[in-house]
Chain A
Amino acid sequence: MTDLPQTTTRKMGLVIDLDTCVGCHACVISCKGWNTENYGAPLSDQDAYGANPSGTFLNRVHSYEVQPEQGPAQLIHFPKSCLHCEDAPCVTVCPTGASYKRVEDGIVLVNEDTCIGCGLCAWSCPYGARELDLAAGVMKKCTLCVDRIYNQNLPEEDRQPACVRTCPAGARHFGDLGDPNSDVSQLVAARGGIDLMPEMGTKPVNKYLPPRPKDTLARSQDQIDVLSPFLAPVAEDTVGFLGWLDRALEKLPGGSN
């Protein structure tokens, strides 16, 4: 039955640091690479080398511009994949039982042998985390790399989702968000991690760490750049040698007069 489990033993998930993500899309590529070759049907592309390419991806990176009331706009890169929601609507709407949430670790998966490809689960996901693969006719979604994280054949350090392992900026963290003492939970607590679209009632497990306010740095006196005193103008008045240099430089092409 696609009823959701009352509770899950662990809540495995990702913590994504919007302060650190540099928008390089390495996680997108490593995800596609790993998941095309491993768990389930490959992530197909259509017209890959043609005029109108499109394909199935389980992780995508958006970029947003945020304009604060004062100060310059900020560019924020925003990776998005399945958030392995506690109240996952995608599981309960599934008519076949193909979509399920695991009791042992809370990972939301699709059984590709029973999925009829009706697409309703993708309709019910507010985050666009599910994509129907056009070649296989079944629903694809982030598996949190179930075939890596418990894989005894991989070296210890590789037993992480491919995106986390790949991220060169260390913007993605993997762990048990149900355990308040885990590294990821402490990170969320320290940085004020947030839920996406909390009003949808999905209770996502994955958390997002808001970017730190970059534009206040220049304004606060004590945190000013240590080099800035050396960058002050050496002379404001133009007399003597400096005066001559100033006039001579201005005569060159590109000078101010």
Chain B
Amino acid sequence: MHPAPSVILFTTLSGLGFGLLFFLGLGMPEVTGKVAFVFYTIAYALGVGGLLASTFHLGHPERAWRAFSQWRSSWLSREGCCAVAALLIMGAYAIGAIFLGTHWTLLGALGASLSLGTVFTTSMIYAQLKTVPRWNMVPLTPALFLTLSLAGGALLAGQEGQAMGLLALAGLTLLAYWHQGDRAFAQSGTTLASATGLGPRGDVRAFEPPHTGTNYLLREFVYVVGRKHAMRLRAIGFGLAILLPLICLSLPISGLLAKHLLAALAVLSHIAGVAATRWLFFAEAEHVVGLYYGKR
């Protein structure tokens, strides 16, 4: 699948933003006033920024509002609804925290679950697609999005204890996702033989494509450029997203400034690492339509 920068940016940033909102909604940390303002600004910048970025790849961004209408059947629509609901509820909760110095616990809990729901619905957009076996893994794909979002959220919220555990969990999920994903296409049972129905007659080979140039399908679904660097990128992504932040958090340092610097390093490294793994999430995903072109 073509790794569109807007979609990578969106899933990375909004995942982090909603992860942070989840922790804020649960009162971790229980901040008020100016400090709360800073926290919520970061969370909204990430969440809203990501959502806006995702509209850049639309053919008609001005009609994006229509995407709220089909929540009954469409995960993409559910994601939109969930995101707006989470942002509204958490906005009300934030007003309480920033200006009134109070925490409406119930509202916060609702906002927190909607935030997590947003990340879940995002993941289901991909996990529902039978056409991309590497994504079509429930519960692994949702687990990957959720654990990464929670780990990033905990990092941003300064919840070091939770962050360590969640980072480790996200790391394990990532490894499991890669392990299972590498087998998914073969396990799906879809081959050129089943795609053409010619399998029972013999060995099927793509002889001539329908067109000499490229087309939308090849550009969008048959992206093979980055695959040869996949292993190296996986190592880099895993190191930056999981290992380095874990090291930063576990270094026994007492100075306040040094601690803050390390935390900042952990956050930045985590974001870069998640972006790298998200790039791979798309670049490595093979769509079955590639079979018709004798490719994957």
CB within 8 Å of B: which residues of A? 1-3, 18, 25, 28, 52-57, 60-69, 73-76, 78, 80, 89, 91-98, 114-120, 122-128, 131-134, 136-139, 194-201, 208, 210-211, 213
For A3, give the chain B residue with the smallest CB separation. B73
- Number of B interface residues, CB 8 Å? 59
**What would be 5 A-B contacts, judged by CB atoms less than 8 Å apart?**
A65-B206, A93-B74, A124-B131, A200-B130, A208-B197
> Judging by beta carbons under 8 Å apart, are A52 and B214 in contact?
yes
| Chain A neighbourhood of B207, CB < 8 A | 63-65, 75
Determine, out of B144-152, B223-231, B261-269, B285-293, the stretch whose residues face the partner at the interface: B285-293
- Select which of A61, A116, A194 is within 8 A of B66 by beta carbon: A116
B125 at the interface (CB under 8 A from A): yes
| Chain B neighbourhood of A69, CB < 8 A | 202
| Chain B neighbourhood of A124, CB < 8 A | 128-131
The digit string for B183-223, where 1 denotes a CB below 8 A from any CB of A, is: 00000111010111110111111111111011111001100
CB within 8 Å of A: which residues of B? 1, 57-61, 63-64, 66-70, 72-77, 80, 125, 128-132, 188-190, 192, 194-198, 200-211, 213-217, 220-221, 287-289, 292-293
- Select which of B75, B215, B287, B292 is within 8 A of A57 by beta carbon: B215
- Give the docked Cα–Cα distance between A2 and B189 (Å): 29
Inter-chain contact total with CB atoms closer than 8 Å? 201
| Chain A neighbourhood of B208, CB < 8 A | 62-63
> Judging by beta carbons under 8 Å apart, are B131 and A1 in contact?
no
| Chain B neighbourhood of A1, CB < 8 A | 69-70, 72-73
| Chain A neighbourhood of B74, CB < 8 A | 2, 92-95, 120
- Select which of B72, B75, B209 is within 8 A of A62 by beta carbon: B209
> Judging by beta carbons under 8 Å apart, are A89 and B130 in contact?
yes
| Chain B neighbourhood of A201, CB < 8 A | 130
| Chain A neighbourhood of B67, CB < 8 A | 95-96, 116, 118
> Judging by beta carbons under 8 Å apart, are A127 and B60 in contact?
no
| Chain A neighbourhood of B195, CB < 8 A | 126, 196-197
For A117, give the chain B residue with the smallest CB separation. B59
- Give the docked Cα–Cα distance between A121 and B217 (Å): 12
Given contacts A114-B63, A119-B57, 4 further A-B contacts (CB under 8 A): A123-B132, A196-B194, A197-B195, A210-B201
> Judging by beta carbons under 8 Å apart, are B202 and A198 in contact?
no
> Judging by beta carbons under 8 Å apart, are A67 and B202 in contact?
yes
For B80, give the chain A residue with the smallest CB separation. A95
- Select which of B70, B189, B213 is within 8 A of A54 by beta carbon: B213
